[in-house]
Structure 1
Amino acid sequence: MPTMRLHKFLAVCGVCSRRRAEEYILAGRVSVNGQKVRIMGSSVDPETDAVLFDGTPLEEPRSHVTIALHKPKGYVTSCRHPGDKIVLDLIEIDRRVYPIGRLDKDSTGLVLLTDDGQLHLALSHPSFDHEKEYRVRVRRPAPDRDLERLAHGVVLDGKKTRPAYIERVSDKEFVIILKEGRNRQIRRMVQSVENEVTSLHRLRVGPVALGELPEGRWRYLTEDENRALRKSAASPRKTAPPPQAP
C-alpha cells in the first residue's frame, strides 16, 4: 500500500486536524513501530506500520471490509436464492458483502464475505492457489487405500483432481486440504471410492481459520488476517502440490 505522511494519517484516523497532528508529533506523543517520532514529514505505511497515539493503536478506517462467518447447515452460500435461507440472513452490517466461493447447503463452517470487488475476483478465480481445509465424516469406515486414492487424485468429469493432503482422525473421519474447488468436490470424491459424506465442515480458507467462532456468528477479519489474505491473493499461482498422506 502507498505510504502516507504521518500527520495526515493521524487526521485520517480521526485523532485531530493535520495542523494539530504536527504539534502532537513534535511533542513525542506518536510512535511508529515502537519508536517515538518527532521528525516532521515522516511517512508510514498504514498496512504494515504500527502507529500509536498516547499508547493507543491507530488504524486507518477500512475502505473495504472482509468478514468470516460460521455457516450452519441449511443455509445457501448465495446473495439470493428464493425459498431458501441464505448466509446474508445471518449478517447485520451496513454494507453489501458477497460470499467468496461456495459452501454447499448441507455443509458447515467457514465462509468469507467481502465488499471488495477486486479481492472477491482474485480469491474466486480458479488460478488462485489457496488451501481450503475441511473435516470430513463418512458413512462407512474408510480404509487406508481409499484415503490414498483421494490424496493422489481421482477422476471427476473426465479430469483428475489435484493431489490433496489427508490426515486420518478416526475410522470414519479425516481432514483434507484441497487447492481447487470444483462443484461438490469432496462429496463426489468420496462417492468415487464407494462411500458417502455424512458431515462436511470447513475449517480454513487460505490464512484465515474458523477457530472458535460460534455457529451462526460472524466477525471482522483481524488486520493480520486481512494482510495475509491480500498477500495470498496477490501471489502468483504455485505449481507444487501439497504433501500427501494416508
Structure 2
Amino acid sequence: MAKLLARAGVGSRRDIERMIAEGRVSVEGTALTSPALNLASLDGVTVDGNPVAAASATRLYRFHKPTGCLTTARDPKGRATIYDLLPKDLPRLVTIGRLDMNTEGLLLLTNDGELKRAMELPANALIRRYRVRVFGSVNARALEALAEGVTIEGVRYGSINADIEHKSGAYAWLVITITEGKNREVRKVLEHLGLKVARLIRVSYGPFELEDLPVRGVEQIPDDAVSRLRSRLPGK
C-alpha cells in the first residue's frame, strides 16, 4: 500500500505510514491501521476522504526557492510555504529533500514518491553542492579536515568537501559539497567552526543544476534526463 501511494505522489513511504497511523487512508470506506496491505490498484483508496488517482508518468521539476518560505505542505503557524508560490496548474508534487526557511536555491519536486525516496537515501550518495557566504575567520586547515567527517553534539556528519571560493574582508564565499543532507547540516558544521552563515544557496542536487533559473522559477526536467538518473539509482 505504501509503495502504491508513494508512486502516485501522495508522499514518501514515511509520510504515508504516518498518514495511515493517523487514520487518514481508507479502502472502500474503512480506515487502514497498517501499511502492510497488498493491493493491485488504488481503486477505492482515499486519503483524507479524497480518491487517489492512479500513478501518472514520473515528472521531475526544478524550483528556485527564495528565502522566507518553508519546505512543507502546510504550516500550523500560517507561514508561507513553497506551495503558496508554485503555479496552481502543476500536478501534486513532493519535495526531494528540504531547504530551511532561510536557505535558497535549487529544490527538486516530483510526483513520484519512490523516486523521492531513492534520491534522498544516503546510500545513493547524490551530491548536494552549496555556495555559502560566511562571516568570520576562515581556517583553511579546518575546512580541509571536514573531508574526514566531524561529530557535533553526538551527531556524526560524513565527509564534507569545503573550498574557499573568494575572500573579501571579514566575509568569504565557500563552496560546500555533501552527500548525506542531514537536518541543517551545512549551517551546523560551519557554526561549529566559528563561522556565521550570512547566505546559503543550494546550486546542485545530483546531476541537476540551479544554473540561471530565476528566483521562484519552475522548470520541468526533460524525461530523458530523469530516465538516465533512474537507471543509476538502485531499485529504480
TM-score between the two structures when normalised by the length of structure 1:
0.66
SS at structure 1 position matched to 2:147: helix
2:108 maps to 1:112: yes
State the match for 1:194 in structure 2.
194
1:163 counterpart (159, 168, 187) = 159
Q: Say which one has the larger Rg.
A: 1
State the match for 1:102 in structure 2.
98
- Deviation of 1:235 after TM superposition, in Å, equals 7.1
State the match for 2:145 in structure 1.
149
2:81 partner amino acid: I
RMSD: 1.9
Q: Which consecutive segments of 4 or more residues in structure 1 shift more than 3 A?
A: none
Conserved? CA contact 1:90–1:217, under 8 Å: no
SS at structure 2 position matched to 1:234: coil
1:86 counterpart (63, 77, 81) = 81
Give CA deviations for 1:169-227 in whole Å, capped at 9, x if unaligned: 11311101101111100110011111111111000000111111001111000234312
State the match for 1:183 in structure 2.
183
Q: What CA distance in whole angstroms lies between the structure 2 residues aligned with 1:194 and 1:110?
A: 26
State the match for 2:71 in structure 1.
77
2:65 maps to 1:65: no
- Identity, % of aligned pairs? 33
- Deviation of 1:153 after TM superposition, in Å, equals 1.9
Q: What CA distance in whole angstroms lies between the structure 1 residues aligned with 2:232 and 2:209?
A: 14
Q: What CA distance in whole angstroms lies between the structure 1 residues aligned with 2:179 and 2:222?
A: 23
Give CA deviations for 1:98-125 in whole Å, capped at 9, x if unaligned: 1111111100000001111211121223
Q: What CA distance in whole angstroms lies between the structure 2 residues aligned with 1:76 and 1:128?
A: 26
TM-score between the two structures when normalised by the length of structure 2:
0.69
- Deviation of 1:159 after TM superposition, in Å, equals 3.8
2:70 partner amino acid: V
1:217 partner amino acid: G
Q: What CA distance in whole angstroms lies between the structure 1 residues aligned with 2:114 and 2:156?
A: 30
Q: How many corresponding residue pairs?
A: 175
In structure 1, list runs of 5 or more residues that go unmatched.
1-61, 237-246
2:205 partner amino acid: V
Conserved? CA contact 2:95–2:108, under 8 Å: yes
Conserved? CA contact 2:128–2:206, under 8 Å: yes
- Deviation of 1:137 after TM superposition, in Å, equals 1.1
In structure 2, list runs of 5 or more residues that go unmatched.
1-55
1:64 partner amino acid: T
Give CA deviations for 1:143-175 in whole Å, capped at 9, x if unaligned: 212212333322124243211222211131110
Conserved? CA contact 2:149–2:157, under 8 Å: yes
Conserved? CA contact 1:136–1:200, under 8 Å: yes
Alignment of 1:1-246 (within 5 A): 63-82=57-76, 83-92=78-87, 93-171=89-167, 172-234=172-234
SS at structure 2 position matched to 1:119: helix
